[in-house]
């Protein structure tokens, strides 16, 4: 239950321990794009006549199992649960029980 703009921590891979926010979610493929994580070099061609080509860093998606939501109280990785509040479900952190 990770959504766009959630703060997450990468728990495995070359960017392990890095904390950032979610840019985009691909629920059908179980992938997420995290800002500043899993960057790949992209060679971009010049678009106009006088412009030069350039190399840009582009974030690529990683599997959702490689990230965990940051607990708002302890600032550590935590699993996500849900609780019924006022007739609707609210996402909560399993570590502290606080709303995410």
7-71 under CATH 2.30.30.30, yes or no: yes
Please give the pLDDT value at position 79.
Answer: 93
Please give the pLDDT value at position 50.
Answer: 87
What are the pLDDT digits (tens) for 56-68?
999 999 999 999 9
Work out the average pLDDT over 38-50: 91
- SS3 assignment, position 8: strand
**pLDDT score of 5 more than 90:** yes
pTM: 0.83
Closest CA relative to residue 97, chosen from 77, 64, 73, 70:
73
**pLDDT score of 18 more than 90:** yes
Rounded mean pLDDT of the chain?
A: 93
The ranges assigned to domains in the chain are: 7-71
């Amino acid at each position: 239950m990770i959504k766009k703009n959630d703060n997450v921590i990468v728990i495995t891979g070359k960017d392990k321990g890095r904390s950032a926010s979610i840019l985009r979610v691909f629920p059908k493929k179980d992938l997420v794009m995290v800002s500043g994580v899993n960057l790949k070099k992209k060679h971009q061609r010049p678009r106009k006549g006088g412009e030069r080509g350039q190399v840009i860093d582009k974030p690529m998606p990683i599997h959702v199992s490689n990230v965990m939501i940051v607990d708002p109280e302890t600032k550590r990785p935590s699993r996500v649960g849900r609780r019924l509040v006022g007739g609707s479900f609210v996402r909560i952190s399993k570590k502290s029980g606080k709303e995410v």
